[in-house]
Amino acid sequence: MSFFRPTDTGTILMGPGDVYTILASSAETNGDYIALEALVPPDGGPPPHIHHDQIETFFILEGEMEITVGGQVYEAKAGDFVHVSKNTPHCFKNRSRTTTKMVFTFVPAGDIEEFFRESFKETTDRHDIEILPPPEG
């Protein structure tokens, strides 16, 4: 299925710190992949982890990100691309003083979209937090 996603129309998932916008959902790509835009604040990013069923990629749009892949540390900046193979330990951390904007993908989509949806919902529900959309501008 082909589709067009206009700017600022993707589903927003907000958790502690990071803000993810779904650019291409699993349903829209027939499970082939999922693409998300991430806004990662200073000191943001997940702990080291492994995806056993997906390839993950990162493309930095603005700012910089320290991305560790299989023990190799990359200081990725705007325009840089990083590919993470299945079963490879990796993590990312924004060590700068500004928010980093990047697009990341998971191939195939698998159940990663549900992981993000459930994780962010569980966190906000458990702590009785209502997440508002980011301010315009």
CA distance 84 to 48: 12
- Cα separation of the two ends of the chain: 32
**Residue 83 domain-assigned?**
yes
**Residue 112 domain-assigned?**
yes
CA distance 115 to 48: 16
**Residue 29 domain-assigned?**
yes
Does position 13 have pLDDT exceeding 90, yes or no? no
CATH of the domain at 22: 2.60.120.10
Are 71 and 26 within 8 A, CB to CB?
A: no
Note the pLDDT tens digit of each residue in 48-85.
999 999 999 999 999 999 999 999 999 999 999 999 99
Residue 125 has which token pair?
């529900």
* Nearest Cα to Cα of residue 52 among 84, 14, 91, 5: 84
Question: CB-based contacts of 24: which residues, under 8 Å, 6+ apart?
Answer: 3, 5, 33, 34, 35
**Residue 110 domain-assigned?**
yes
Predicted local confidence at residue 98, as pLDDT: 95
**Residue 69 domain-assigned?**
yes
**Residue 136 domain-assigned?**
no
**Residue 94 domain-assigned?**
yes
Domain of residue 48, residue span: 12-126
**Residue 6 domain-assigned?**
no
Give the total number of structural domains in the chain. Answer: 1
Note the pLDDT tens digit of each residue in 105-123.
999 999 988 888 887 764 5
pTM score of the predicted model:
0.85
